[in-house]
Amino acid sequence: MTAEIGKRATPADPMPGTTTDASIPSATARSLPPELGPDAIATLEGRSFMYSDIAGDVPEGSIGGLVHADTRFLNRWILTVNGARLLVLRAGVVDHYSAAFFLTNPNLPGLSANSVGVRRLRFVGDGMHERIELQSFAAETVQLEVRLQAGNDFADLFEIKDFVRNRSEQITREHAQDGSSLWFRYQNGDYEAATQVEASPAAKRVEGDDLVWAVELDPDATWSCELRVPLRVGPQEVVPSHRDFGEAFAPEGDDRVSQWLQQMPKLDSDSHTVSRVVARSARDLVALRIEAKVGDGVIMLPAAGLPWFLTLFGRDTLLTAYQTVSFGPALAKGALLALAHFQGTERNDFKDEEPGKILHEIRTGELTQLGLKPHSPYYGTADATILWLILLSEYWRWTGDDDFVRSLGDNARAALRWIDEFGDRDGDGYVEYQTRSPQGLGNQCWRDSWDGVQYADGTIPALPIATCEIQGYVYDAKRRLAELADGPLEDAELGERLRGEAETLHRRFNDDFWIADRGGYYAIGLDGDKRKIDSLTSNIGHLLWSGIVPEDRAAVVARQLMSDGLFSGWGIRTLSTGDTSFNPIGYHLGTVWPHDSSIVALGLTRYGFRDEANRIALALLEAAEYSDYRLPEAFSGYSRDVARFPIPYPTACSPQAWATGAPLLLLRAMLGLEAKDRRVTLDPNLPDEVGRVSIGGLRAFGTRWDVEAVGRNGYVRLAKDHAA
């Protein structure tokens, strides 16, 4: 498990109080170089991924390659026939961990175009496996030189998207005399890494780092070669189960992924779009899961996203687990346990660590292991600790697992102490953030790009900053922990104190953050001088989700969210069009983030604005139709009146965990699906475009439930075979 400090943008103009590092990747550095192109193909499993162009090749100098645990183990992987790269007929991902490439030869001296069919089969499991198959369609016997160019730079993941240090003098290369394998070894002080490429049949010769076969093919004859690149798996990692090509390309239902999916609730809907989007989300959640050993068991939790964030995050992992908990508690339980394991225990300025704090991310590459990056773990987030408490409560509401909550009681109390003693930096009752690390993030809320929080006129505020949604999270967390204190934690005094603190926060927040101008709204935050940061943002929708908005202001907030300034027609913009810095392709300055909009929709549902929530849900579901039924991390905030289809954000991750979880939260909002008093409850308001929805085998409270709804009517009942 692991994570990255430069996850959001870190341009040349940092926030005041922020120190940047040239080796931290920027958002713009994530765009694909020409060598890979827009059709780049990634296969992934656990913490490993192989990223190539559409022909299956990885040209040296690109951001592609084989990466495991934040280290690149191959940076060049190019197949040629008679000295030429191959033409693509069709290529694509078969499942998240496997891909197939159908290729042919161009016109070459002595070899007419399309004379040889080439198929590359690839999967990532316990290392990378690739099979190369050739078939001759020529009328005569052909002589072929098949060459595989391999290479490695052992780059740290932080470097891949930006600038890779030249390690060539520290990399040794060897090859077996019989041509059956290559070795690359790297050592820098105490840090060591190695790559082995195994080939069967062995190459006829090895030239530098190239494996070369001399192949003679009669008409209709075939030749194949299998390649394997083993990867060292850490002691806490679960070895991926995919071990041969028969499994990777087996019919549906014959592999472990399909078996895992069969355990998930079964959704059926009159809406083809709803069915396809939810099915895609389910498969992407499987693809993004990390499995790790904890004690005698194995836990699952969601990684943040492909390709750069296949690791444990705080905020991303927690919000994804929240989005999905009503459809199965396994990811939430894994996230809670993993993050509790790494909960802060001391004050460490380099890591932005404090006692009780939940991490931002972990990394395990060379730069981290040598102490050049603060990511083992890095704690620069002001909201993850609070969200951990919210998820603990939500998990309990859906499972009734008193023993599990009690087992994390000390972690919960430590998180509460962090809120009051460290999160509230100046004792004013609000949680603020300000990095102490020379490589820390300036903004430590979900809008953690350098300019993600600013005044309406574009001015960047001074640190520390207390953003509005974080105060809403604190309000919600304290009320939820009061409920747990009255229940499994058996601490009535704590419950009474937390309810009082939440009420005080509610009153003060609504005095200090409210702005009467522009029709009324909440400031995005208070700056270091306690001035209101007056931009109008989607964060006000998070306040509805948390419940900190009084009933008499809820309609005003809902009206702002659905105004032309914030609602693009495809979702809620991060920044209103009325603000100076609005940019439809600005990372947090006008783009639409599906996870953000899904939280807004659930908040609107909480206050009874069901039609407004449905407008958001339908818009996002329709947007997914334009990207193969998968919602990306973000897309551009152009108005639907201008763009009749959603405009992609150029460097969005896909799949990305909290975007993948968004459709499940939208469905929950439309169904009014909740858990209360150890029962699943339903208050549906399904639009006509969705029609009927049924969910079979939904897991809650150690049993299975069936749910069905159409319009405003529906039922929940125990499944016939209700044993979980």
pLDDT at 244: 62
Give me the pLDDT at residue 35, please. Answer: 53
Amino acid letter for position 291: E
Q: What is the pLDDT of residues 199-234, one digit of tens each?
A: 999 999 999 999 999 999 999 999 999 999 998 766
Token pair listed for 617: 């849900």
How far apart, in whole angstroms, are the C-alpha atoms of residue 264 and residue 680? 17
| DSSP of 448-494 | -STTSS--TTSPPPPSSBEEHHHHHHHHHHHHHHHHHHHTTT--HHH
Rounded to whole angstroms, the Cα distance separating 442 from 444 reads 6
Q: Are 434 and 17 in contact (CB under 8 A)?
A: yes
Cα 636 to Cα 614: distance, rounded to the nearest angstrom: 21
Of 184, 181, 194, 183, nearest in space to 226 by CA: 181
pLDDT for 5: 26
Percent of residues, the chain, with pLDDT higher than 70: 90
Average pLDDT along the chain, 724 residues, taken 10 residues at a time:
30 31 30 61 89 95 92 96 97 90 96 96 91 96 97 92 89 94 93 94 95 97 96 64 58 54 86 96 89 76 82 94 94 95 96 97 89 92 98 97 98 98 96 95 96 97 97 98 98 98 98 97 97 98 98 98 98 98 96 98 98 98 95 95 89 87 98 92 97 95 95 94 66
List Cβ neighbours of 620 (8 Å cut-off, separation of 6 or more). 570, 571, 594, 597, 598, 631, 662, 663, 666
Q: Write out pLDDT tens, residues 89-118.
A: 999 998 888 999 999 999 999 999 999 999
Check residue 655 and give its pLDDT: 86
Tokens standing for residue 152: 């490695």
Determine the pLDDT at residue 289.
85
| Neighbouring residues of 169: CB distance < 8 A, sequence distance ≥ 6 | none
Q: Compute the Cα dihedral for 562, 566, 568, 571 and give only its sign.
A: negative
Give the pLDDT score at 308: 76
pLDDT attached to residue 2: 30
Domains of the chain: 40-234 (2.70.98.40)
Q: Quick one: which of 300, 426, 419 has its CA closest to 357?
A: 419
**Cβ pair 339, 386 in contact under 8 A:** no
Residues forming a β-bridge with 577: none
Task: List b or e across 135-146, with b for residues whose CB sees 16 or more CB atoms inside 10 angstroms.
Answer: ebebeeebebeb
Contacts of 137 (CB under 8 A, 6+ apart): 114, 115, 116, 117, 219, 220
Chain segment 443-498, per-residue pLDDT in tens: 999 999 999 999 999 999 999 999 999 999 999 999 999 999 999 999 999 999 99
Phi/psi of residue 231, nearest 5 degrees: -130, 140
First vs last C-alpha separation in the chain:
28
Task: Spell out the alpha helix ranges (H) of 455-608.
Answer: 468-486, 492-512, 539-546, 551-561, 594-606
Full DSSP string of 253-293:
TSSHHHHHHHTSPEEEES-HHHHHHHHHHHHHHHHTEEEEE
Q: Which pLDDT belongs to residue 597? A: 98
Strands (E), 18-70: 41-45, 48-52, 65-68
Alpha-carbon distances of 258 from 21, 38, 243, 261, 286, rounded to whole Å? 43, 28, 16, 5, 9
Instruction: Please compute, for residue 202, the number of CA atoms within 13 A of its CA located in the half-sphere on the CB side.
Output: 11
Residue 614: HSE in the Cβ half-sphere, 13 Å Cα cutoff: 17
Check if the beta carbon of residue 690 is closer than 8 Å to that of residue 269.
yes
Cα–Cα distance between 20 and 438 in angstroms, integer? Answer: 7
Q: Is the pTM value of this prediction over 0.85? A: yes
Residue with tokens 């049949």: 201
d(CA 333, CA 339): 10
For residues 48 and 102, what is the distance between their CA atoms, to the nearest angstrom?
24
- The confidence score (pLDDT) of residue 8 equals 31
What is the per-residue pLDDT for 22? 27
Calpha distance 446→537 (Å, rounded): 12
Chain-centroid distance, C-alpha 176: 40
The residues, ordered by sequence, that sit 6+ positions from 664 with a Cβ below 8 Å of its Cβ are 278, 281, 323, 324, 326, 327
